[in-house]
A and B are shown apart, each in its own frame.
Chain A
Amino acid sequence: GESVGLHLPTLSVQEGDNSIINCAYSNSASDYFIWYKQESGKGPQFIIDIRSNMDKRQGQRVTVLLNKTVKHLSLQIAATQPGDSAVYFCAETPFGNEKLTFGTGTRLTIIP
């Protein structure tokens, strides 16, 4: 079946450096993509989304890049802070679908 997977389960980054979290997806019909941040004991928190008609979108300290040719999604976090330590999930869905398919998550640890 279709799946959304992450290249790396864990990532450690020095505070102040930039981080990149990657996500591969296999559904060629995927149209809408989201990144979530989940802190320990809490529900996932929406970070940023992107639709398939775009290849880049920026937020506050975050950038999402979408490469539809190779079915790859990435989340870049600039100038990382201790509060960025969390598990990050990508999720995708085809157009008009009510459901999201989530990846397994990457644990980002910011080293002081």
Chain B
Amino acid sequence: SQTIHQWPATLVQPVGSPLSLECTVEGTSNPNLYWYRQAAGRGLQLLFYSVGIGQISSEVPQNLSASRPQDRQFILSSKKLLLSDSGFYLCAWSSGGNQPQHFGDGTRLSIL
């Protein structure tokens, strides 16, 4: 069966520090991969998605970037975090368009 792992579960970072969140998927090949951000009590905002290695689509101009160095690995990064980067970050995978996306348990990021 397919599984998705995100880490860390929680992270507290100072303003201006770098960020690297990692997401890996097991049990499937060539998945679509997604990064979302969720503000408290709000819906999900799509940040990036990828349909293959090295292919990244950015949905919202921002202080973050994404990379997909391997088929089942998706990384969310920032060179210098802003206070506004605080939130709940979720990674998801799907087997293609018009298929369910399956989510990890998220990383709660707090910027101080």
A25 to chain B, nearest CB (A): 13
Establish whether residues A98 and B100, one from each chain, have CB atoms under 8 Å apart when the complex forms.
Answer: no
Interface string of A47-68 (1 = CB under 8 A from B): 0010100000000000000000
For A49, list chain B residues within 8 Å (CB): 100
Distance (whole angstroms) from the CB of B47 to the closest CB of chain A: 11
Identify whether the interface residues of A are mostly helix, strand, loop, or mixed.
loop
Is B102 an interface position by the 8 A CB rule?
Answer: yes
Report whether A105 and B98 are in contact in the complex, using a CB–CB cutoff of 8 Å.
no
Partner of A93, one of B6, B43, B98, B108: B98
Q: Does A18 contact B (CB under 8 A)?
A: no
B101 within 8 Å of A by Cβ?
Answer: yes
B32's nearest neighbour on chain A, judged by CB, is A98
Instruction: Report which of A31, A42, A46, A99 forms a contact with B102, defined as CB distance below 8 A.
Output: A46
Q: Are A95 and B98 in contact (CB under 8 A)?
A: yes
* Cross-interface CB contact of A43 among B32, B42, B51, B105, cutoff 8 Å: B105
Across-interface contacts of A112 in B (CB, < 8 A) = none
Instruction: Report chain A residues within 8 Å CB of B102.
Output: 46
A-B contact number at CB 8 A:
55
A: contact size bracket: 20 to 34
A99 to B34, CA, bound (A): 9
A97 and chain B: residue at smallest CB distance? B97
**Closest chain B CB from A7 CB (angstroms):** 15
Q: In the complex, are the beta carbons of B100 and A89 less than 8 A apart? A: no
Q: Report B-chain residues with C-beta under 8 Å of the C-beta of A36.
A: 103
Known: A43-B106, A98-B51. A34 touches B97 (CB 8 A): no
Other A-B pairs, 13, CB within 8 Å; known A98-B32, A99-B59: A34-B101, A43-B6, A43-B104, A43-B106, A44-B103, A89-B44, A93-B98, A95-B97, A97-B97, A98-B49, A100-B101, A102-B43, A104-B43
Residues of B within 8 Å of A97, CB to CB, are: 97-98
**B104: A residues at CB distance < 8 A:** 43
Select from chain A the residue with minimum beta-carbon distance to B104: A43
